[in-house]
Amino acid sequence: MDGDVRDLRRLVFVLDKVERVVPLVAESSGLAVVRERSPLWADDQRVGSAGMSGAVWGALRESVRCLRAARRSAVREVRASSDSDVGLEWVAQGALLRRALEWACRAVWLVEPPRPERLANLALEAPDPVVVVRRGGESSPAVGADVAQDVWLVCGGEPVELPVAELVGQVVGGGARERADVPLVAAAATVLMVLGRGLELVKERSRAPY
């Protein structure tokens, strides 16, 4: 069972990267400033700041919150070194990472399209999560729609094969060597990439045209 704890440590190593994002999603962050005449500013003029920019930032912050919760949970398990409970711990990680992915993809799904589609998406009360996840992945060049959906399925317990080493390598750099049977490590890396894409898009949409 030592391998299970080692895999959790690897998950913690990847999830450590989320701490770099925490200052960026803080309410005091400069990224959170919506510049006058920017696309997001224009959206907010239509639906209110609590609508569009509030929804986008809320989704990004919820994604970060879920990632940090997954990390804390994994750290507790590693410190306890209770191998007998690792199987249950992976289930908890999967649930948190799935929610983190859904929130990150929602932010991208809201902010990336042209204005008419952005406003239409915002108005949807219960969008299809698969549509949202695929759009988030499609808009993240290092991920793609199919991988995003596969990660979403894996986090829900589905036996889907993922390109683990490739995905983790995008986040940690270098020639990452990951076991193919530890997909949640790849899931964490995928969420971080979609989250990063969401932050890039928010920055673009919050910038004034001149």
Q: What is each CA distance from 20 to 14, 53, 138, 143, 208, in whole angstroms?
A: 12, 22, 24, 20, 26
Tell me, yes or no, if the pTM score tops 0.75. yes
Q: What are phi and psi of 143, to 5 degrees?
A: -115, -70
CB atoms closer than 10 angstroms to residue 185: 28
Per-residue pLDDT in tens (0 to 9) along the chain, 210 residues: 456 677 788 888 889 999 999 999 988 887 778 889 999 999 999 887 678 899 999 999 999 999 999 999 888 877 776 555 555 556 788 899 999 999 999 999 999 999 999 999 999 888 999 999 999 999 998 899 988 998 998 888 887 776 666 677 666 665 445 544 468 888 899 999 999 999 999 999 998 875
Measured distance CA(91)–CA(157) in Å, rounded: 8
Phi/psi region, residue 144 (left: phi>0; alpha: psi -120 to 50; beta: rest), is left
Q: Where do we find the tokens 């509030």?
A: 54
Q: Where do we find the tokens 């992945």?
A: 137
Per domain, the residue ranges of the chain are 2-205
